[in-house]
Amino acid sequence: MGKINENTRSEVKEIVYKFFSEECEVDVSTISENTNIITDLEGDSLMFLELIEIFKKKYSLNIELKTIAKYIIRHPVETIGQLVDTQMLMIEHENNLVNL
Amino acid sequence: MEEVAGCGIDIEELSRFRTRLPSPEGIPGFAELVYTQEEITSNLGSNSDLKFPLCFSCKEAFFKALGVSWMNSNISWKEIELLFSDNNNIFDYKIRLSGYARELFEKMKCHNFESHLEFNDEFVVFQIVLLS
């Protein structure tokens, strides 16, 4: 825990936007917090898993996929904004995410 | 008489897996999230560039047949395994369920399933039909 600083949110946002821009072959300027990952970007499991892996590596996170899945059941991620929020919580709480 | 309890079909583009394939040199983090050690061991070798995408596609198809996803159920990717028996025969494989995947399969009163795979140079397709 405690890996968050004042720059973390903008870092996370940049990674997420760049990732979907490249994966979905769209201009990053067309992506916003309200962009729906499935309906607007045709996001799929492969993208979600790859993104999780990127963040696990970058922030050396101790978090299991099952923990993330259990959290997402209660807090669905549909938009880019919600995804950024969830990634922030993953970084801050790691496996304790399931207790939120 | 058998009834269809669920059906799932998945298609994957092979090019998306190029940088995500396990190899004798190492296992990408993505692969560790999705494949069991037994899958990695049995699928390494000849045709691994087909086997791993087929493995992923099989898991997705099974999730769909069960009517859930990894994001809205307790089922882990590793509880649905596709293991190829023969290095040279893509069509010789078995699918194994465990944990919550097995639990949901039985809760749906399924006793068997049928599977079918197809592939070409660009895509793999997997279909699962659950029978009760």
Mutate to test the interface with A, among B11, B20, B30 (most CBs of A within 10 A): B30
Which chain B residue lies closest to A56 (C-alpha atoms)?
B29
Domain assignment of residue A1, yes or no: no
Contact predicate B57/B125, CB 8 Å? yes
pLDDT tens-place string over residues B69-86:
888 888 999 999 999 987
Question: What pTM did the predictor assign?
Answer: 0.89
Give the residue numbers spanning the domain of A33.
8-99
Q: Total domain count for chain A?
A: 1
Q: Which residues contact B76 (CB under 8 A, 6 or more apart)?
A: A65, A66, A69, B70, B99, B100, B101
Token pair 């999705």 in the structure block, residue = B34
Indicate if the pLDDT at residue A1 is higher than 70.
Answer: no
Q: Could you give the maximum distance between any two Cα atoms of chain A, in Å? A: 36
Higher pLDDT, A61 or A1: A61
The confidence score (pLDDT) of residue A66 equals 84
Indicate if the pLDDT at residue A26 is higher than 60.
Answer: yes
Higher pLDDT, A38 or B72: A38
The confidence score (pLDDT) of residue B44 equals 85
Domain assignment of residue A62, yes or no: yes
Contact predicate A41/A24, CB 8 Å? yes
Average of per-residue pLDDT values in chain A: 91
Contact predicate B30/B83, CB 8 Å? no
Indicate if the pLDDT at residue A64 is higher than 90.
Answer: no
Please count the other Cβ atoms lying within 10 Å of the Cβ belonging to residue A58. 12
Indicate if the pLDDT at residue A15 is higher than 80.
Answer: yes
- B1 close to A (CB below 8 A): no
- B12 close to A (CB below 8 A): yes
Check whether domain B4-131 has CATH 3.90.470.20, yes or no: yes
Contact predicate A91/A8, CB 8 Å? yes
Per-residue burial over B77-86, b = 16 or more CB atoms within 10 Å of its CB, e = otherwise: bbbbbbbbee
Please count the other Cβ atoms lying within 10 Å of the Cβ belonging to residue B49. 12
Nearest to B29 by CA among A99, A27, A85, A54: A54
Task: Point out the residues of chain B with pLDDT beneath 70.
Answer: 87
The confidence score (pLDDT) of residue A2 equals 54
Nearest to B108 by CA among B116, B100, B96: B100
Domain assignment of residue A43, yes or no: yes
Mutate to test the interface with B, among A65, A68, A70, A82 (most CBs of B within 10 A): A65
Q: Which residues contact B105 (CB under 8 A, 6 or more apart)?
A: B66, B97, B113, B130
Indicate if the pLDDT at residue A49 is higher than 60.
Answer: yes
- ipTM reported for the complex, 2 dp: 0.80
Nearest to B12 by CA among B38, B45, B51: B51
CATH of the domain at A54: 1.10.1200.10
Domain assignment of residue A3, yes or no: no
pLDDT tens-place string over residues A72-87:
888 999 999 999 999 9
Contact predicate B40/B96, CB 8 Å? no
Domain assignment of residue A13, yes or no: yes
